[in-house]
Structure 1
């Protein structure tokens, strides 16, 4: 009962935290755009992208630490958890120092990351240093305590603290920038709230779990185990995290801060939709891991097809909504001067849909622990994305950079990743069977998108609010009717419909 209670609490507060993390950036970017302009938005996007790449030092380590804590936590082995926390603390300090050192070494190269002009009233080095301090600071202030809450199914603590601090920071930043119109104040307040976030979280964890203290020495075999896990997860997570960061850095370097801001406005929509769709996969990953351990390969492949059917229905519907609603929403939010061409909207939709095609498959890669097998694929995807970003971005601008990401996703993240899964797990099942049923989903989604978008064009109007309401209505109704008609004779449609009715 306690596990179920904790899970429900985590889901509730996790969902609320996702809503906060989705809405707050919209409000902040709107205020910056109205008061200061697009170049300031571009600076924010650029520095966040650079420091997100530097943050790769942490990727994989926290996941490995948490994984190693589950067993001693279940056994009540406080001494072992304390030694793990002590090791965790020491490594985090080294990570923080490495971020500071590498970040400082990048300062002479900052002008190369900005094409054309930047705001005259700010010193980009000073602003960058504040971002750098803000990123590194948390590694020195009890960040390791978060793992205790996660291991004991109390991730709701992090969600509540994170949401509260994010809302408080946004309110203070908006008030400061509204009254002073000074970007320095907007940035300078960030490290203060990072300190508040970490101290508040540490206090809550300490209050609930006073038995845990960062002390003692960890056994050599545990350190070896963690290093092996880190090596596999680091490379794979580094690839996904740097994907948009490299895009933003290349856009800023080739095209300037204003286009970087516009690109990231569009990307933030995709990221927001992805965040909510990810609730589906997050809720199923535990069950997938259990079934991989207890069921046959054929049973799991059949189950994967069912999940893919539901997920690609959701993903296809979201893609169609993006296609039809992107431009009117961006016009309402940022105005005509901050719009990309409709051709870029189509490319963003392809980008999003290719990501969704592989999400369910990725759960089976993770459930089978195939991180190490993916190491070369992840490295090649990052290199290919960077090379294509530079070449195509230089030739074709924003179009080229989005196309570069689509190509690297399709070749490495979809085709290569699929071949690894079928080579190491679904080895008795022909890979063409997977491609055939996914190809059917692609064709049906494309047909539904053409139908829906054509109907959206039937009501031309100069009133953007009326157009938005009309398009939202069309997007709720037409794609789902289209999917229902296309799939009505499908065996999977009958099975999923029966399961949903029973639930």
Structure 2
């Protein structure tokens, strides 16, 4: 019964991620189109810069959320509610403290904003906009945000996802009205704050209803559990420094060394790529609770078999998404907002590589979360963060390669760290088995990807189709079908592919027979 429930919840989480991805993407495109038309590219760039700055300030939290969820897996599996509420009480106090830390850090950063925006003095409007961004970030920590972790640990991510989406649509419609009637970006940000408050209250209400802990007496956290939690929190904080440095400095560097307007143009591309990034991340990482349960109830061989299946599915997804973005994104930008917002083919090529390298890691994150391997990998992110900044500044400032230099810096730092060290930690401390089979699988998959990418760069299939909506849809259909057929030809003997085909066919048969 446990296995069935675990599988069903994993399916609900993945299915919800897929459905909500499509719905949210449509809303995002409409919202971005209206934003550019009614508010302009400067405010879009400002939005990107301030979002990145607040992303860096969130370093104060990184590590706690994932570590608490990991700590909850065991007491939830054992139905130990006393231990669960003890961890949740600790989480609540820590989040309030973190909220105040972010507020202080946000005020400390304020005097340096003119240098980032390349202006002599911050105007009244820019000041108000930044303060509203800061308030929105702080409120998320002070008002029940920690309760989301309890739903996540119970494999009920889909509930949070649907609640957030419903509220997102409602607030977005209000924002459209505000933009259309007033052309006032400040009012849009005020509505964002209202959305954050409502979202946290709703999630807290649902969590309390589904998993009531009000009358449960907390069971003291033992010293061994405290030590384990401290190690995981510290390891996860260090482990996520690289994430913040890598993902939250791009817009700051572009604004500081190029322009705020360029941030706006680049953010149109990152909105698209981040949407697919988020989709793959949610689909994969939403399995963490399921695998976390498996880790505590099965042996290492069973976990490894499951991991191989996730890793294969991860490769197929990363391959298709990154290559289709390379083929389709520039023709789409032209259709959507015009040629004035295009980036070069070379930048898009690097963007495709960047997406593949990042999304290819997501299956590994499942085991990172399930085994709680944050402490064991504590040194890797420091090296990654330093390398990323050094390479990005070298290519941006010395070689003057612009956005290409920033992307190339991230690619170099990822290749030199994540691609080999993260699997090493997983196999040594989690699975505790040799990496030989995994390395051979990786070599094959990487070779397939890079040969295909180089081939597409020289073939340039975009030039064969008309620059209109019908032509773009034809290009998307032919490209998607062609890449899928190519994968089947290359991987038709792979045992994991056969397992997935068998799994999907059985599921489809069950649906048909109903």
TM over 0.5: yes
Shift of residue 335 of structure 1? 1.5
**Are 2:415 and 1:413 equivalent residues in the alignment?**
no
**Within 5 A, what are the aligned runs for 1:440-459?**
440-449=444-453, 454=459, 456-457=461-462, 459=464
Match of 1:350 among 343, 350, 353: 353
Mapped contact 2:150–2:207 kept (Cα < 8 A): yes
**Are 2:475 and 1:471 equivalent residues in the alignment?**
yes
Which residue does the alignment assign to 1:60? 63
**Within 5 A, what are the aligned runs for 1:136-175?**
136-175=138-177
**Are 2:389 and 1:386 equivalent residues in the alignment?**
yes
Greater shift after overlay, 181-190 or 354-363? 354-363
Mapped contact 2:71–2:229 kept (Cα < 8 A): yes
| Distance in structure 2 (CA, Å) of the matches to 1:296 and 1:318 | 31
**Within 5 A, what are the aligned runs for 1:31-430?**
31-73=34-76, 77-115=80-118, 123-212=125-214, 218-219=220-221, 221=223, 222-278=225-281, 280-282=283-285, 284-285=287-288, 290=294, 294-295=298-299, 307-394=310-397, 395-424=400-429, 429=434
| Distance in structure 2 (CA, Å) of the matches to 1:376 and 1:109 | 29
Shift of residue 95 of structure 1? 0.5
Mapped contact 1:452–1:475 kept (Cα < 8 A): no
Instruction: Indicate how the Cα distance of structure 1 residues 424 and 323 shifts in structure 2: closer, same or farther if over 3 A, else same.
Output: same
Mapped contact 1:31–1:174 kept (Cα < 8 A): yes
Which residue does the alignment assign to 2:487? 483
Post-superposition Cα deviations, 1:348-389, rounded to whole Å, max 9, x if no partner, equal: 011111223433344444444332121111111112112222
What's the secondary structure of 2:378's corresponding residue?
helix
Shift of residue 140 of structure 1? 1.9
Q: CA RMSD in A?
A: 3.2
Instruction: Indicate how the Cα distance of structure 1 residues 26 and 95 shifts in structure 2: closer, same or farther if over 3 A, else same.
Output: same
Which residue does the alignment assign to 1:26? 29
| Distance in structure 2 (CA, Å) of the matches to 1:392 and 1:73 | 48
| Distance in structure 2 (CA, Å) of the matches to 1:441 and 1:176 | 48
Instruction: Indicate how the Cα distance of structure 1 residues 141 and 305 shifts in structure 2: closer, same or farther if over 3 A, else same.
Output: closer
| Distance in structure 2 (CA, Å) of the matches to 1:243 and 1:136 | 22
Mapped contact 1:114–1:252 kept (Cα < 8 A): yes
| Distance in structure 2 (CA, Å) of the matches to 1:360 and 1:155 | 17
What's the secondary structure of 1:429's corresponding residue?
coil
| Distance in structure 1 (CA, Å) of the matches to 2:10 and 2:448 | 36
| Distance in structure 1 (CA, Å) of the matches to 2:364 and 2:204 | 36
| Distance in structure 2 (CA, Å) of the matches to 1:174 and 1:457 | 33
Shift of residue 331 of structure 1? 1.4
Mapped contact 1:69–1:81 kept (Cα < 8 A): yes
| Distance in structure 1 (CA, Å) of the matches to 2:11 and 2:492 | 34
Mapped contact 1:14–1:156 kept (Cα < 8 A): yes
| Distance in structure 2 (CA, Å) of the matches to 1:475 and 1:412 | 32
Which residue does the alignment assign to 1:437? 441
Mapped contact 1:389–1:404 kept (Cα < 8 A): yes
What is the TM-score normalised by the length of structure 2?
0.86
Shift of residue 252 of structure 1? 1.2
What's the secondary structure of 2:379's corresponding residue?
helix
Instruction: Indicate how the Cα distance of structure 1 residues 286 and 94 shifts in structure 2: closer, same or farther if over 3 A, else same.
Output: closer
| Distance in structure 2 (CA, Å) of the matches to 1:198 and 1:217 | 26
| Distance in structure 1 (CA, Å) of the matches to 2:295 and 2:262 | 46
Mapped contact 1:39–1:118 kept (Cα < 8 A): no
Shift of residue 450 of structure 1? 5.1
Mapped contact 1:46–1:249 kept (Cα < 8 A): yes
Greater shift after overlay, 303-312 or 385-394? 303-312
What is the TM-score normalised by the length of structure 1?
0.87
| Distance in structure 2 (CA, Å) of the matches to 1:397 and 1:231 | 35
Mark the runs of 5 or more structure 2 residues left unpaired by the alignment.
508-514
Post-superposition Cα deviations, 1:435-465, rounded to whole Å, max 9, x if no partner, equal: 443232233233444555637246253x322
What's the secondary structure of 1:370's corresponding residue?
coil
